[in-house]
Amino acid sequence: MAIFVDENTKVIYQGLTGSQGRFYGLLNRDYGTKVVAGTNPRKAGTDVEGIPVFATVGEAVEATGATASCIFIPAPGVRDAVIEAAEGGVKFIVCITEGVPAHDEAWFYNKLRRDFPDVRLLGPNCPGIISPGKCNIGITAGHIAKPPAPGEKAVGIVSRSGTLTYQALYELKLNDIAVSTCVGIGGDPVPGTSFIDCLEAFEADPDTHAVMMFGEIGGSAEEEAAEFIKSKMTKPVVSYIAGVTAPPGKKMGHAGAIVSGGKGTAQAKMDALRDAGAKVGLNPTEASQLMVEVVRNL
């Protein structure tokens, strides 16, 4: 199995006719993902290498039965694109776009929770999601992820950092370890999907046997995840927290990666995770090696 997406997931690319949407939409289709439609109100009725383009998400859903969308819309249009996807009938929205205003994120996060509680948003500012061998939505390179063979132990990955997501996938592959699903939740202050959402899904997935969680400085998401791990997780968790040397008050790459008022430090997050029973690596490679040991002992 996998979490959130699998080989049956049909995906609409909002922004398929743009350069980035086209590149990754076709790349994901070549991987085996069911990319069934794109949207662009000015190019409805055309196609992108055989993928039909519709004016709206609603029309695309009606014609194709799609249940997921991937947003490659520039930041100023993301707010409208997210709501269009939800109103159009999509149940899983992946927003790759970075630079979305925080007040827009807060607005559509709360609107989705209030008016579309059955819709899950991943991102914004995330690499997307890959269930290796089944479905790849977003910008993750499919060839760096090892699909699980029948009966093989598999690891679930959840990360705030896209780059560290790729490193974890590749290092596990080098050690012949399969991945059930890898979820990049993004590094913005208001993510649509949290660590806990993913941990809960991995805990319930019978084909995920252990979990890697990559966090970073800023906010309290990792400490909240540690509480969940301590009270609810039965599967082993390995973690790494980026930003140990980050100076207080300086934003480090991601909009949410900032330590302020003595809160959100890497050390506090590492301490909370260790206290919860997770194994914590001091760098990404060490975390991967810890996971290799975990899988070998499963």
Cα 163 from Cα 206, distance rounded (Å): 27
Structure token digits, residue 66: 């799609």
Secondary structure class of 254 (helix, strand, coil):
coil
Cα 265 from Cα 267, distance rounded (Å): 5
Q: Is the pLDDT of residue 257 over 90?
A: no
Confidence bin at 60 (pLDDT 50/70/90) = very high
Secondary structure (H, E, C), 23-52: HHHHHHHHHCCEEEEEECCCCCCCEECCEE
**Cβ atoms of residues 259 and 248 within 8 Å:** yes
Burial 183-211, CB ≥16 within 10 A → b, else e: bbbbbbbbbbbebbbbbebbbebebbbbb
- Residue of higher predicted confidence among 146 and 253: 146
Q: Is the pLDDT of residue 111 over 80?
A: yes
| Mean pLDDT, rounded, for 140-151 | 96
| Mean pLDDT, rounded, for 61-75 | 98
Residue 210: beta bridge partners? 155
Confidence bin at 259 (pLDDT 50/70/90) = low
Share of the chain above pLDDT 70, in %: 94
Q: Is the pLDDT of residue 255 over 70?
A: no
Q: Where are the alpha helices (DSSP H) in 140-219?
A: 162-174, 195-204
pLDDT at 266: 86
| Mean pLDDT, rounded, for 246-271 | 67
Q: Are strands 68-71 and 51-54 parallel, antiparallel or unpaired?
A: unpaired
List, in sequence order, every beta strand (DSSP E) within the chain.
10-14, 34-39, 47-48, 51-54, 68-71, 92-95, 120-122, 128-131, 135-138, 154-159, 178-184, 210-216, 237-242, 279-281
Positions marked active-site: 254
Cα 235 from Cα 170, distance rounded (Å): 22
pLDDT tens string 181-231: 999 999 888 999 999 999 999 999 999 999 999 998 888 899 999 999 999
pLDDT at 297: 96
Q: Do domains 10-122 and 141-296 have the same CATH topology?
A: yes
pLDDT at 150: 93
Secondary structure class of 62 (helix, strand, coil):
helix
Q: Taking the domains of the chain in order of start, what are their residue ranges? A: 10-122, 141-296
Cα 39 from Cα 41, distance rounded (Å): 7
pTM of the complete model: 0.94
Check: CATH 3.40.50.261 for 141-296? yes
pLDDT at 250: 57
pLDDT at 1: 81
pLDDT tens string 147-193: 999 999 999 999 998 889 999 999 999 999 999 999 999 988 899 99
pLDDT at 240: 96
On average, the pLDDT of the chain sits at 94
Confidence bin at 254 (pLDDT 50/70/90) = low
pLDDT at 55: 98
The burial of 95, by beta-carbon neighbours within 10 Å (0-12 exposed, 13-18 middle, 19 or more buried), is given as buried
pLDDT at 264: 74
**Superfamily per CATH, domain 10-122:** NAD(P)-binding Rossmann-like Domain (3.40.50.720)
